[in-house]
Structure formats: structure tokens, C-alpha cells
Amino acid sequence: MSIPVLKFDAVIVGAGGAGLRSAIQLSEAGLKTAVLSKVFPTRSHTVAAQGGVAASLGNSEEDHWTWHMYDTVKGSDWLGDQDAIEFMCKKANEVVVELEHYGMPFDRTDNGKIYQRPFGGHMSNFGEKPVRRSCAAADRTGHAMLHAMYQRNVKANTQFFVEWMALDLIRDEEGHVLGVTAMEMETGQIVIFHARATIFATGGAGRIFYSSTNAFINTGDGLGMAARAGIPLEDMEFWQFHPTGVAGAGVLITEGVRGEGGILRNSSKERFMERYAPNAKDLASRDVVSRAMATEIKEGRGCGVNKDYVLLDITHLDPATIMKRLPGIHEIGIQFAGVDCLKEPLPVVPTCHYQMGGIPTHYSGRVVMPKDGDMNSVVPGFYAGGECACASVHGANRLGTNSLLDLLVFGKSAGDSAVEDLKAGRAHRELPKDVADKTLARIAALDNRKGGANVHETRLAMQRTMQDHAGVFRFGDMLKQGVEKILEVEKAARQLEIKDKSQAWNTARTEALEMENLIEVAKATMISAEARKESRGAHVRDDAPDTAEFPNGRNDKEWLKHTLFSPVDNSITYKPVNMQPLTVEPVALKTRSY
Amino acid sequence: MERADYERLRWRCIRRALLELDITLTRFLDGGGFDKLSDEEQQAFVELADMEDYDLWDLLTGKAEIDDPRLAPIVALLRKS
């Protein structure tokens, strides 16, 4: 079968913040650049980021990038690479000001500067007191950012392929990346994008969990493609969770609900937080509340048919107070839980929010992997930025407002590195003879398989396995079982069947292809989490508790290292954390406490 | 509505920027809400689905109101769905 080949200097997969930021660098350098996206760019999930973008502009009070760096290293629980963190924090002002020049409508102070607000974990003078570092555009920061960058790309002649799904990474025998195979949804046509540089900016894969704040689009397509091409995934055990999402839906319930007097209850209506935090009770920190909820569920005191959620009760509060102080909560209850929260408690569960791990990259945005004894050997022609990549700046946990900063800084740096490599003479390499065979075989298998697994049921089995066995609070025995279970789900995911065989707008096929990506991420997460026998950042294990020898359960002697999960044989290797910043003294190890 | 047009619309409803809209619109389509609409109402739904996520979400949560007599009844239906 003859497959059309489209030739570009660069192909970027994903048109959220990181993809658009990369594309600006390439197009403005005069390079022929294609951006592929499953949806129109301003429908990317970056839209959902409301909080702001961190930069030590110092517009409202004194601030310094070294303070931001300290906060980020501490937030990462010292798993973040300090060279990458220095790079990001130092670059923050530049990328924010650039964005302002692109037309981003930042909130302003009376004297016209970018207004900055405080945000959790961002402090002045190395952890002393909160600092105003977050730059926002009302509560639509991500949305405004995408619009500004999309316009800039239109001006720079970036070529958009909207409603196209990238399917597989093309690598030759020497390991060079030469582009991707992709499918135009409108026609079902498979096309080869042959490029000198390939940049992944495909976002996170939060849909591996049953309860996730992520939009349905976050199916880890870039991670799936990288894994199928033999590229390892880094630190996949680290996922940020929020304590209260609506069970079964994932929609966030603000922590303000507990602040206003909301009470968490188990299946026997017990106010269980009294046992876990006798003083703070329901107002204990996120970590403590999440762990208590997970423990209640694990020990069989959850609610519902599957005993897999707890209740957030505000029925004792004055309805007028609820409507006034917690606007929207009543609608959320009705829309997403089918519950009138004035009369009945809301079903809630710790909910996945952000993926810290991803495709391993250097801070220049170049993808790296172990080769011939070098743990960080560059994969020629391949770059990544944003949530799909692991630079690693978030390490074991991410600070709020650092995700928008990550996609700006590393989107730009991936673009810059690609421009540099192309200008240095990187040419189009010859496509392998079997270039699209694997993609075509996957599509054909989906179209022809009879008696295979149902996509919806397989996805549900994966999501439940991940939620139950590798959720916010992890148990050694559950993780062990989880590995077996997810490998079983993987077998089903390799045998998916779809009923719709049509070419045009076959959404069943698209969802099956997304499922094949999700399972790669789920497997990497479960196996990496089972293997890491300490608690660090967002990876918290019941069998690695807080002790005098290991505060917070963190064991730097054995576990101050990055996980690299190899999808080829499900094996794990580790590589050292880079504790050496570029120009300043390292942030020395200490116990993370706030 | 032709199959291809419907599937295009469906894709644009099940892959939104905001999870809240993914859930609401998917439920409406897959629950048969769309099939019950007249041709004209279906066209109005397509227009709503084309809106920016926050604008549509504000309508569905009552944070914003819409005057257009063609679109308002569909918004009311979605609010109840």
C-alpha cells in the first residue's frame, strides 16, 4: 500500500501550550513546521489551567529566581534535576514577558505592570514567607495563553493539521527519529510526516485513573508512541492527586468546602478524620486527608456498591451560606453526582490531577535515553516539552503555577534546540522500508479482529485497577497485585475489537488507538510505583512511613534516583538525580516540611 | 444528520478542553438527547458545541445567560441533562 508522505522541517505533535510555544520558535526561524492536533488548538487541555504562571518578576514585592528555584527543588522532594530547575526558574521572566508581547492579557497593577498573586509553596528568601509570584489572566490564564500563542503561530505561517491523530514514532535502525505516522480523522487516511525534527507536546495521561480531573483528551499519546518505539519513561510513579473530586466524574470540589465546615464521613457515617487528625480533623493538610480517605476505602469502609468513595457532608450547614460562600458547588453536585448537596452528602474520592514523569529529556528539550553506558544519550531528531516530558523539574511533586511555566520554558527550549540542530545541518534521513508497517498492522488488527475486547470495558478495568492499586496512598500488597492485574488488562488492550469499520470520523477506532497509548502509561506507572520502596513527594507508601531515620518515609541513601521504565521488557533501571545546578550552589538535601 | 456529520460533532463534544463539558456533552449525546431534537434544534446544538469552552460552561452553569431564542431552549435542556 502506498502511503502519502508529507515532508516538513519539523513536526510537532500536540497544540497545547508546549506545542504552540515550540512552533513559534521553529516557524519564526523560517522552518517549515507542521503541528498535529486531535482538536482545535484552543480546545487543548492547557485551557483548564487557571492558577497562573510563576515568574520572579518582583513586580509586587522583592523576588529572585534563586528563591523560586529553592521552592521548586523542595516541592520536588529533591527528585528534580537542579540544572533543569535553575534553567526553568531563570528563564521564567523572559518567557512571561515574551508572552505579554504576544498579546497575553495579564492582570495588571495600577502602574501597569503584570499583577502577581501568591500561590501555595512559592516563598521568598528560601522558604521564609509567601511571595507574590504567579502571573494570571483572571481565572483563564491557560486559555488566554493558548489564544495569544495560536495567533502568533498563524502570523508565523505554522501549518496546522487539526483533528489529526499521530499514531507512531518513526525511528530508523540507528535510533534517529524521522517523524510520525498520523491519521486524518475526517477521512481515516494514514499519512507519513517526514521531518528533520520531531517534537512531542502531547500533554499528560491522567485518564489512566478512574477518578481524574483531566479532560478526556489526556490519553498519553506521546508516551504511548515513545514507549512503542522503545524509549523509556521516567519517574512514572509520581502523580499529583487532589483530595476531593466527585466520585465517578473527577470534577474538582474546592477545598473551601471543608474550610466552610464540610465533614468527611465513611459508610457508617463516622467522621473518620477525628481518628487520623484529632485536632485539625477535616481541615488537615491535603496529604493527610487524602491518605485517610484512601485508608478508609482500602479497609472496606467506603460507600456505594463498590465501596470506593467516601462522603463529603455539608447538609448541616445553612443553605444560604453554602450558596453564598461556595458558589457552583450545588450545581456540581447535581450535574456530576446527581446529588442535592443541601440534602445529601457528596460522593468524593482522591482524584488524579497531574503527571510529573514522562519522556526523559535534557533541559534543552532533547529526548535522552540510556545507550552504551551513557544514561543520557540524546535520541537524534527527537524533542519533548510540557506534561508529556520529564526534564525533570517537578521531580516527585509539582508546585502550582509551575506547569504553565514548564510548558513555556521547555516548549521554547525544545524549539530552540531543534532550530539549532537543523541549522547545524541535520538533514532528512531516508525513511525505513517498513516505515508504516506497524501502524498499518495495528489499524488492520482493529478493523479485522473478531471476538476481541471491548474498548470501554478495557479502559474501565485499567482505570479501576490504577485507582485501587496505585492511587494517592499506596500499599505494598496492593501494588504487587496491581502489577499482575494491569498486565492482565494489557493483554485485553492488545486485543481490542471495534464494531464500526468506517473510514470517515470513526471515533470508535480513535478511542481504541488512544486506549493502546493509555495502557503503556498505566503499566509504566504501576510497575515503577511497585518498585520504589520509599515515600517521596506524591508517591506515598504505607510501608514506608515517617520515622526518625527516614523522615516522611524518604530514603535518600537508596532512592535518590530517577526511575526509567523500559517498555521493551517491562524492566526498570535507575539514573542519578542531577544535584548540580548550572551556576549556583546546590540546594542541599533536607526534610521537606511546610 | 448524516453519519459523518454526526460523528464529527460527537468527536468535538467528547474531546473538549474542560472535563465538565466532556461529561455533560457526552452524556447528552450518548443518552439520546440529541436524537430527540428537531433538525433546527440539532443545528442550534452544533452552534453551541462550537463555542469556546468557558463561554459554554458559563451558560450551562447559569453564570451567563443567552438571548438567542434558538439557542436558549437547548441550553435549558443541557442544564437539566
Question: Measured between alpha carbons, how far is A301 from A230 in angstroms, rounded to an integer?
Answer: 42
Catalytic residue among A43, A117, A140, A286: A286
A 10 A CB-CB count for A487 gives 13
Chain A environment of B18 (Cβ under 8 Å): 47-48, 215
- Number of CB pairs < 8 Å for A and B? 78
Q: Is the Cβ–Cβ distance between A208 and A521 less than 8 Å?
A: yes
Task: Return the CATH architecture of domain B3-80.
Answer: Orthogonal Bundle (1.10)
Residues B19, A250: C-beta atoms closer than 8 Å: yes
pLDDT in tens, A71-103: 999 999 999 999 999 999 999 999 999 999 999
A 10 A CB-CB count for A154 gives 12
Residues B17, A43: C-beta atoms closer than 8 Å: yes
Question: Any idea of the CA torsion for A485, A489, A492, A496, to the nearest 10 degrees?
Answer: 170
Indicate the pLDDT class of residue A414, thresholds 50, 70 and 90. Answer: very high
Q: Is the Cβ–Cβ distance between A26 and A156 less than 8 Å?
A: no
Take residue A219 and report the three cell numbers written for it: 490519553
CA atoms within 13 A on the CB side of A317: 23
Instruction: Give me the residue from A38, A331, A504 closest to B4, CB to CB.
Output: A504
Question: Any idea of the CA torsion for A490, A572, A552, A253, to the nearest 10 degrees?
Answer: -30
pLDDT in tens, A309-357: 999 999 999 999 888 888 788 989 999 999 999 999 999 999 999 999 9
pLDDT in tens, A486-518: 999 999 999 999 999 999 999 999 999 999 999
If we measure between CA atoms, which residue out of A311, A261, A305, A308 comes closest to residue A282? A261
Residue of B5, B14, B20, B58 to mutate, interface with A, max A Cβ within 10 Å? B20
Question: Measured between alpha carbons, how far is A288 from A301 in angstroms, rounded to an integer?
Answer: 17
Residues A361-396 as b/e (b if ≥16 CB within 10 A, e otherwise) read: bbbbbbbbbeeeeeeeebbbbbbbbbbbbbbbbbbb
Coil, strand, or helix at residue A380?
strand
Domain ranges of chain B: 3-80
In DSSP notation, A314-353 reads: -TTS-HHHHHHHSTTHHHHIIIII---TTTSPEEEEEEEE
Question: Measured between alpha carbons, how far is A529 from A229 in angstroms, rounded to an integer?
Answer: 22
Chain A environment of B11 (Cβ under 8 Å): 163, 185, 505, 507, 510
Handedness of CA A358, A364, A369, A373 (dihedral sign): negative
Catalytic-residue membership of A286 = yes
Residues A251, B23: C-beta atoms closer than 8 Å: yes
pLDDT in tens, A189-237: 999 999 999 999 999 999 999 999 999 999 999 999 999 999 999 999 9
Q: In what order do the strands lie in the sheet with A346-355?
A: A239-246, A346-355, A310-313, A263-265
Give residue A198's region: left, alpha or beta (phi > 0; psi -120 to 50).
beta
pLDDT in tens, A13-69: 999 999 999 999 999 999 999 999 999 999 999 999 988 999 999 998 999 999 999
Residue of B1, B16, B19 to mutate, interface with A, max A Cβ within 10 Å? B19
Query: Which pTM was predicted?
Result: 0.96
Q: Is the Cβ–Cβ distance between A99 and A119 less than 8 Å?
A: no
